[in-house]
Structure 1
Amino acid sequence: MRIDKALVVYNKPLYQLHVLEQKDPHYIGLLKKKHPTTRLWRAVHAMHQETLEGVQRTLELLGIETDTVFRGQLKKIGNYDLVVTVGGDGTFLDISHILGNQVLLGVNSAPIDSTGALCRARVGDFLTVLVELIAGKRRPQWIPRLQVKVNGKAVAPPVLNEVLFANQSSAGTARYRVLIGKTAEEQKSSGIWIAAPTGSTAAIRSAGGKPMPLTKPAMQYVVRELFPEPGKRFRIRKGILPKGKKLTIYSRMRQGALFIDGNKISVPLNFGDKVEISADGKPLRAVL
């Protein structure tokens, strides 16, 4: 792979954002009181800064022209061969939503506080990963993503991890009619997880799903906490649907919602809205 120009997109840890920059009295107060939730703040900040600087030095060492931007200021991505995220899975997911055909590579900037399941590199092996990419010993993969439509219109960018169909209130019951092919059921539950292959090891796995190969063109669904009704036998509980097949849901709630790749993208649903989800989203070119 030829890499002439790269974009580095970084996040800001809580300590940097709320203490050093915003000087928020609430967060400063927690830090002064040595609140247990602040235990790792300084260490995470130091590790993050070290990673960001290490990534920049490595790209410079290899002669790659590089731009660097904070993820909160990035609106669109220009002409780059490689986009490197420095942060955790949240940063990787955010950037995947606005990426074109560029290759995406995640660097976990603070492993002591971040899972980084989507981040292939850390600062210690970033150079090795880059050299392997340039030499052709490692190749980007095309990763399947989900397509989400409401009433026939796309309402979100291609989904890399998962979609949660649920009540807008986490304590509320989800009421809906669900269809797969000719099978249709009316259900009450805590909602439905629908995951792409990369999301199959996350929340849906905790709900009873199973891991899928990263490049498998398919999606998985799991109904959460299905309400048992006397005399009813439910067939749509969990399963895997290949590309080309869709899961259709009719909302029977006035305050339903779709939560996409976490909680930053949400789509409100009214009573009667038709949701269609499939594994037909534009695939992502990434190093995983």
Structure 2
Amino acid sequence: MPHQERAEQADRIARERREHVFDQRRREQRQRPQPHRQGGDLGEDRLETHDSSAALRATPPPCGTTAHRRARGQGDPGRRSRGGVPAEPPTRRADPWASPPACPLAHAHQAQRRGRADPPKPGAHRGRVVVCARGRRLGILRPRRPRRRRGATMMPNRSRPRILVIHRRSAYTELVTRRRDRRIARLVREGHPLGRRMLDAHHEHLASLRAIRRALDRLGLQARFLHRTTGLRIRDDDLVVVVGGDGTVLHVSHLVGDASVLPFNSAPGFSTGFLTVSVAAHAEPYLAAAVAGELRPTRLQRMRVELNGRTVTDRVLNDCLFSNACPASTTRYVIRRGQRAEEQSSSGIWVSTAAGSTAAMHAAGGRILGLTEDRLQFVVREPHQLGPHRGRYRLVRGFVRRGETLEVTNAWQPAVVYVDGPHVAIPVAPAATVRFSVSDRPLRLLGYGTAPLRRD
């Protein structure tokens, strides 16, 4: 068949090409000298042919030089090499089919062929020239620099305070620059009120970041700036500067253990800064006072959340919402405080700290507490009090003091605990128990409640 004949012809041609290449390589191998490496260290590389009477024992010069050609027998045979041995042409190997000795730097050969190794640069090098046993220069060995963590600034003087600046991305940067949302970009381009507001907030946020950098430069302080905090745990930093609004402060509170926090509002005309001490334009006197230890810390009590006896988090600064996995559905549970327990049906339960009593807790009918009070407050959200449950609920609102626990046991539908907003959600399985209590790790907030500081 024509197809079968074409296939056989293609196989025959490929076989002939392989045999031709194989014969050519065998001829080249017979004509090429086969030195091998002796010695241990890279600085002790020596070349030796298989003719003992014409052994060349010298450190191989860089590949391509005149001395290298003489060492390989390609120069004048009447002249002597550096070791005093005539550079005679090496003899041929007795067995051309025997595999040559493996080069100890074969992996470097492969890396250079694949483009992974740095090519040798002309001129003086700060390092050692790496030469393999065949006289081929592979590159330069230089001392490895310590790897720098992404987004970090190395501080040479360890006596200075270690400052970490955490800032948020503006809505314009997140939606237009990074995600390239065409609809929002069109609103900004056409001058829509929403687009103008987003762009103005973006410019104000960038100006605040520049003000923080200028203040640090004037004070001679070094800091590292981060906006990606995935997997970050703050342990070794002395001062954490937050540039953003209350949402950024709440996010940072989950990362900070015992470090002091100095928050600044980056866009006071567009974001809420209840937990911030000042605006970024007046950051220099606050930074100077914080480094000198002159700012009095305010300890904000945080909340601990346990799920089935295991602590999930002890750094909740604002509030938690326990509700059905679908917030539009009815939440059924058993709530217990002390010796009293009730089975309830509602839209969920708000549990907040003193710092969070001015937010959703106040909108749900709760009281505004002092900022430093060490107790929690809970309010049942839209309790169902019709039918058989009419007038039976007693644990609709109340307080949880230090040492006490508010216990909520979920019914047969999945539920969720939202922590400090919608970004952190803890799934609660049916019949699981969630406990809320006052945490033992308060947040150290610097400069809150002090008189406004001005630059001299």
Q: TM-score, normalised by structure 1?
A: 0.93
Residue 250 of structure 2 corresponds to which residue in structure 1? 93
Between the aligned partners of 2:376 and 2:383, the Cα distance in structure 1 is: 20
Q: Is the 8 A contact 1:177 1:252 kept in 2?
A: yes
Identity level (%): 35
- Which deviations, in whole Å up to 9, do the C-alpha atoms of 1:247-270 show, x marking residues without a partner? 000001422110000011001112
Superposed displacement of residue 157, structure 1: 4.5
C-alpha change, 1:253 and 1:104, in structure 2 (3 Å) is: farther
Between the aligned partners of 1:137 and 1:5, the Cα distance in structure 2 is: 17
Residue 427 of structure 2 corresponds to which residue in structure 1? 268
Among 354, 362, 368, the residue aligned to 1:211? 368
Q: Is the 8 A contact 1:254 1:269 kept in 2?
A: no
Residue 16 of structure 2 corresponds to which residue in structure 1? none
Superposed displacement of residue 76, structure 1: 2.7
Q: Is the 8 A contact 1:3 1:134 kept in 2?
A: no
Residue 438 of structure 2 corresponds to which residue in structure 1? 279
Tell me if 1:244 matches 2:403.
yes
Between the aligned partners of 1:3 and 1:238, the Cα distance in structure 2 is: 49
Residue 257 of structure 1 corresponds to which residue in structure 2? 416
Cα RMSD after superposing both structures: 1.9
Residue 192 of structure 1 corresponds to which residue in structure 2? 349
Larger radius of gyration: 2
Structure 1: 4+ residue segments shifted above 6 A: none
Superposed displacement of residue 131, structure 1: 3.6
Between the aligned partners of 1:84 and 1:74, the Cα distance in structure 2 is: 18
Q: Is the 8 A contact 1:82 1:105 kept in 2?
A: yes
Letter in 2 for 1:183: R
Between the aligned partners of 1:136 and 1:157, the Cα distance in structure 2 is: 27
Between the aligned partners of 1:74 and 1:126, the Cα distance in structure 2 is: 28
Tell me if 1:4 matches 2:4.
no
Q: Secondary structure at the residue paired with 1:138? A: coil
Tell me if 1:65 matches 2:222.
yes
Which runs of 5 or more structure 2 residues have no equivalent in the other structure? 1-158, 449-456
Residue 234 of structure 1 corresponds to which residue in structure 2? 393
Q: Is the 8 A contact 2:246 2:273 kept in 1?
A: yes
Superposed displacement of residue 48, structure 1: 0.3
Higher relative contact order (CA 8 A, sep 6+): 1
C-alpha change, 1:257 and 1:21, in structure 2 (3 Å) is: closer
Superposed displacement of residue 141, structure 1: 1.8
Aligned length: 287
Residue 197 of structure 2 corresponds to which residue in structure 1? 40
C-alpha change, 1:109 and 1:3, in structure 2 (3 Å) is: farther
Q: Is the 8 A contact 2:302 2:314 kept in 1?
A: no
- Which deviations, in whole Å up to 9, do the C-alpha atoms of 1:168-226 show, x marking residues without a partner? 21211111000000000011111111001110111001111111112211111111111
Q: TM-score, normalised by structure 2?
A: 0.60
Among 257, 270, 277, the residue aligned to 1:113? 270
Between the aligned partners of 2:356 and 2:373, the Cα distance in structure 1 is: 12
